[in-house]
Structure 1
Amino acid sequence: MTLTIYTKPAGCFGCTKTKQKFTEAGVPFREVDVTTNQAAFEYITEDLGYSQVPVVVYDRDGTENHWSGLNPGGIEQIIAIESHGTEA
């Protein structure tokens, strides 16, 4: 399982809440700051087609899921999968 959260450091409520929810649940993630990483910025805008952060990219067993913005349902689904090992 890999979970990557593409963020910006300041003024991003969705970024803060997304990271907080995964941290509280004990689900490890990698944070990438798109304001300092040009390749990451190009990946989320050009490859994935998003224009706002956070962008969450979750890969489990070769199946990738991703979204942009604060997504409580998506966050809870990943937490449930990682906590129980099965889809909620």
Structure 2
Amino acid sequence: MPDVSLLPGPTLHHWEWQDRAACRDLGPSRFFHPAGERGEEREDRDEAAKRVCAGCPVRRACLEHALRTHEAYGVWGGLTEDERREKQSRK
């Protein structure tokens, strides 16, 4: 679960980037794996999500949010949870 104490608060300008996200109307199933998903199926889903992120105008803001709040699941800003953990461990 994300650490909500790290969230920027209810002020609208902190969240406006989400209105322009390429994933906004796609639903969560492309970005969050179902329980037990492994191997090629998971890799294929992650790659499909990353393709959406690659063309997203707010990719950087999304990734910054995920790193700041320690999002534990899903593809955010073009990185999987494992890739984000790796990135944070290098800091």
TMscore range, shorter length: under 0.3
TM-score by length of 1: 0.22
- Structure index of larger Rg: 2
Higher helix content, 1 or 2: 2
TM-score by length of 2: 0.21
